[in-house]
Amino acid sequence: MDPLQFAYRHNCSTDDAIAHLLQTTLTHLDKGRDHNQYGWATVPHPPSPSALEFLRVVLSALLYSLYTYDCTGTSSSTIIVKFADDTVVMGLISDNDERAYLKEIKHLENWCQENNLLLNVSKTKELIVDCSKKQEQHYQPVRISGTMVERVDSFRYLGVRISQDLSWSRHTNSLAKKARQHLYHLRRLRDFRLPSKVLQSFCTCTIESILMGNITVWFGNSTKQDRQHSKG
């Protein structure tokens, strides 16, 4: 099985996939390299509804991982991180040389075609992490099957919003907003004079679970202000 397929593995979760992605990025940038480019894609979608049903039934869990095991990076400066069908192509760019990264994306497109899978271009995004102090760079656009991939400044990956500056403000703001939406329901339950244990269970299962989601990935590098936001 591909070691960078983090789904369906014992003692592995979305945290492991996200942590590997961020650790690889920071290690590359710490070496003084130019920047990282990510291409997020929801990859394996069969071209027909009947095939989709077949894959969902037959190629579930371990078999699905085996089916896509050879969908891996082909260069030392590119890696492909997978969690089920959520796939990230990462280019570790040095000296503004994007050729390996663009070649990897083309290779992934060809691999999907050869294996009767379809890249969902509408859900595919590109994010560039460039911490250099150079003037604004001009990056080559990414195209898949002739369609230009949208370039964004942040992207939600496996429940975590990653920004191009690797800050966590957007993520913690999103968590706080989502958690606050459940406070109304908590107040309504309190108005019905439900036992405190029921209220505590509701708070733990809904509000706390949102605020604690993927916390091992983002909390350590968050700012004091970010943490205040996550506390609501």
pLDDT at 31 over 90: no
Class for domain 1-164, per CATH? alpha beta
Question: Per-residue pLDDT averaged across 183-200, rounded?
Answer: 94
Q: Which residue has the higher pLDDT, 225 or 60?
A: 225
Query: Would you list the domain boundaries of the chain?
Result: 1-164, 167-232
- Give the pLDDT confidence score for residue 28 in this predicted structure: 86
Which two structure tokens, joined as six digits, stand for 87?
């796939």
Q: Which residue has the higher pLDDT, 61 or 133?
A: 133
Q: CA-CA distance, 99 to 145, in Å (whole number)?
A: 18
Q: Which residue has the higher pLDDT, 78 or 33?
A: 78
Question: CB–CB of 42/123 below 8 Å?
Answer: yes
pLDDT at 59 over 70: no
Q: CA-CA distance, 119 to 69, in Å (whole number)?
A: 17
pLDDT at 42 over 50: no
Global pTM value: 0.83
Question: Per-residue pLDDT averaged across 187-193, rounded?
Answer: 94
Tens of pLDDT, residues 121-170 = 888 899 988 877 665 678 889 998 899 999 999 989 999 999 989 999 99
